[in-house]
Amino acid sequence: MKKKPDNRGFVYSTDPNFKFEDDNAETQETLEPAQQKLRVRLETKHRGGKTVTLVTGFIGTNEDMEDLGKKLKSFCGTGGSAKDGEIIVQGDQRDKVLQWLLKNNYKQTKKV
């Protein structure tokens, strides 16, 4: 029986009971909007001098974070992305993002 290698560099083990641990076993539940503690801030570091609005503190699945990012980008009429636990909206859109989040029951949101 062949054992499949993984992305951590393990190729072979002499232990017959060895199994790769599944990193995806602990999926995080998405909190309700009223329980999310989001932070909205402006950032220009490591972006070639471009200004972006950063939303951090989202607790939940990547799909839900990407969905929220898509809604925020659509509301602001700009581009951006959702990765590494952050939602990035191009430009200084702090007021619009904060307005949309408060309107959609994200009550514990702060502008930093």
pTM (predicted TM-score): 0.75
The three-state secondary structure class of 86 is strand
| Cα distance between residue 46 and residue 58, in whole Å | 22
| Cα distance between residue 78 and residue 100, in whole Å | 14
Integer Rg of the chain from CA? 19
Structure confidence by residue, pLDDT tens digits, 27-46: 578 889 999 999 999 999 98
Structure confidence by residue, pLDDT tens digits, 60-74: 999 999 999 999 999
Domains in the chain: ranges and CATH? 30-111 (3.30.780.10)
Structure confidence by residue, pLDDT tens digits, 74-102: 999 999 999 988 999 999 999 999 999 99
Q: Is the dihedral of CA 6, 10, 12, 16 positive or negative?
A: negative
**Which whole-number Å values give the CA distances from 46 to 19, 50, 54, 85, 91, in the listed order?**
40, 9, 13, 17, 14
| Cα distance between residue 21 and residue 34, in whole Å | 34
